């Protein structure tokens, strides 16, 4: 006999969540291992290449910033050696790598949704109505979010990630990593260069900040953003992470295979009806089937189940 408060859907979902936790727990070490060994099988070649591409791009931007800062024209060879060692160093940074990993998955998913469900990766109906808003602040934020989303897709195609798009803590982290690295060597990331980079950084201009701001600005209406078709994937993921109070990267991972239990519980916990949840699943996991009677699982109960997982970040 199951406990009286437990509805049939719970058993399946609880098992699914444990399963999902186990998979997430291995992301950090596996990713680090795969990137270091260059022999990969667990994650798709494409995603790994994209992560590597983004990390290399970040490293390249730092090296170039130093050259400009110091008006230095190093010889090609030593620059490449320098760059390679910085890339290795950044690759070993689990939080940075998992951030890039989430971005790569989001970018890939954007393309898949566009292809399979005709969901515009840039201009969703919700963004469109926000742009048309009477409130100029909202309208201009929506416009900036649209531009940043277009930029995001373009840089994903090119496996780039501008340092200015990093969340502040990661931005700080890679500057730190660079100055630690160069402190011992002849080339050093000068204080002036660091100051210049820090001065130019503005978290509010990043795509993730713009999306969060839009969600926050919608107040109770933010529930409208919990529809992929209506809001578009970028806004949907931000809304999900804000409503569920977990890291956006975790929201991205929650949209992947083997995390369907987390996604279903998260959506239920923030009050979506079974039919609405099913619609999101239709886009994300067309082949997956949800436990029946999901409506009988209360939002509170769903939150409680999620709390057992306790996970709010990927790494």
Partner 1 sequence: MGLPKPVLARAITDADDRLIEADEPLAGLHRRCGGELPGTVAVPALLELVRKSRRMGLRLARTIEALDGDDTVRAWVEIDPVREGGDGGCSIAVGAWSSSPRPTPSEDEAADLRIAVDRAVAELTARLAPDQGILAVESSAPDLQALVRKMRENPGSTWTQFVELPELAHRQPLHWRLLDGTQCVIPGSTRNWTVTLIPLGRPDPGSTGFELLLVADSPLPPQHLTQSSDEAPSTPSFGRELTPILRQPVARIIANAETISSRLAGPLAEEYSAYAADIAAAGQHLLSLIEDLSDLEVVEAENFRTAPDRIDLADVARRAIGILGVRARERGTSLHLAPSDDVVPAIGEFRRVLQIMLNLIGNAIAYAPAGSSIVIAVANQGSAAIATVADEGSGIPADKLDSVFDKFERLGRGGDGGSGLGLYISRRLARAMGGDLTVSNVTGSGARFTLELPTAD
Q: Return the CA Rg of the chain.
A: 21
Q: Give the whole-angstrom CA distance, residue 57 versus residue 263.
A: 31
Per-position DSSP letters for 94-133, written without gaps between them? HHHHHHHHHHHHHHHHHHHHHHHH---SS--HHHHHHHT-
User: Of 82 and 247, which has the nearer Cβ to partner 1?
Assistant: 82
- Cβ of residue 67: shortest distance to partner 1, in angstroms? 5
- Cβ of residue 92: shortest distance to partner 1, in angstroms? 19
- Cβ of residue 147: shortest distance to partner 1, in angstroms? 4
User: Of 45 and 185, which has the nearer Cβ to partner 1?
Assistant: 45
Residues near partner 1, by CB under 8 A: 38, 64, 67-68, 71-73, 118, 120, 122-123, 143, 146-147, 150-151, 154, 157-158
- Cβ of residue 58: shortest distance to partner 1, in angstroms? 16
Residue 12 burial (CB < 10 Å; 0-12/13-18/19+)?
A: middle
User: Of 236 and 246, which has the nearer Cβ to partner 1?
Assistant: 236
CB 50, CB 156: distance < 8 Å: yes
User: Of 143 and 304, which has the nearer Cβ to partner 1?
Assistant: 143
- The token pair at 19 is 């399963």
User: Of 140 and 313, which has the nearer Cβ to partner 1?
Assistant: 140
CB 28, CB 98: distance < 8 Å: yes
- Cβ of residue 203: shortest distance to partner 1, in angstroms? 20
CB 193, CB 135: distance < 8 Å: no
Q: Give the whole-angstrom CA distance, residue 221 versus residue 236.
A: 13
- Cβ of residue 294: shortest distance to partner 1, in angstroms? 30
Q: Which residues contact residue 237 at a Cβ distance below 8 angstroms, ignoring those fewer than 6 apart?
A: 106, 248, 251, 252, 255
User: Of 18 and 205, which has the nearer Cβ to partner 1?
Assistant: 205
Distance from CA of residue 125 to its chain's centroid? Answer: 22
* Torsion angle of C-alpha atoms 23, 29, 30, 31, degrees rounded to 10: 110
């Amino acid at each position: 006999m199951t406990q009286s408060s437990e509805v049939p859907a719970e058993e399946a979902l609880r098992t699914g969540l444990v399963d999902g936790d186990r998979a997430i727990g291995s992301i950090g070490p596996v990713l680090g291992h795969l990137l270091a060994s260059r022999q990969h099988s667990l994650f798709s070649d494409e995603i790994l290449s994209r992560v590597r591409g983004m990390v290399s791009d970040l490293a390249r931007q730092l090296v170039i910033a130093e050259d400009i800062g110091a008006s230095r024209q190093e010889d090609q060879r030593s620059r490449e050696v320098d760059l390679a060692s910085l890339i290795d160093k950044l690759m070993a940074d689990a939080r940075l790598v998992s951030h890039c990993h989430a971005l790569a998955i989001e970018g890939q998913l954007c393309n898949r949704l566009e292809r399979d469900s005709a969901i515009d990766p840039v201009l969703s109906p919700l963004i469109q109505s926000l742009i048309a808003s009477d409130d100029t602040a909202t309208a201009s934020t929506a416009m900036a979010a649209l531009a940043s989303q277009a930029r995001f897709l373009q840089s994903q195609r090119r496996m780039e990630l501008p340092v200015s798009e990093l969340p502040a803590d990661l931005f700080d982290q890679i500057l730190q990593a660079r100055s630690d690295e160069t402190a011992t060597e002849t080339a050093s990331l000068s204080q002036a260069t660091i100051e210049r980079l820090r001065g130019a950084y503005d978290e509010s201009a990043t795509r993730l900040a713009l999306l969060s701001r839009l969600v926050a600005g919608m107040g109770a209406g933010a529930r409208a953003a919990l529809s992929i078709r209506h809001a578009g994937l970028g806004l949907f993921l931000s809304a999900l992470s804000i409503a569920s109070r977990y890291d956006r990267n975790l929201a991205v991972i929650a949209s992947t295979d083997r995390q369907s239990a987390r996604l279903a519980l998260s959506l239920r916990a923030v009050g979506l009806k079974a039919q609405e949840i099913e619609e999101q699943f239709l886009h994300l996991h067309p082949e997956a089937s949800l436990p029946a009677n999901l409506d009988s699982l209360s939002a509170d109960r769903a939150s409680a189940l999620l709390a057992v997982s306790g996970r709010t970040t990927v790494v």
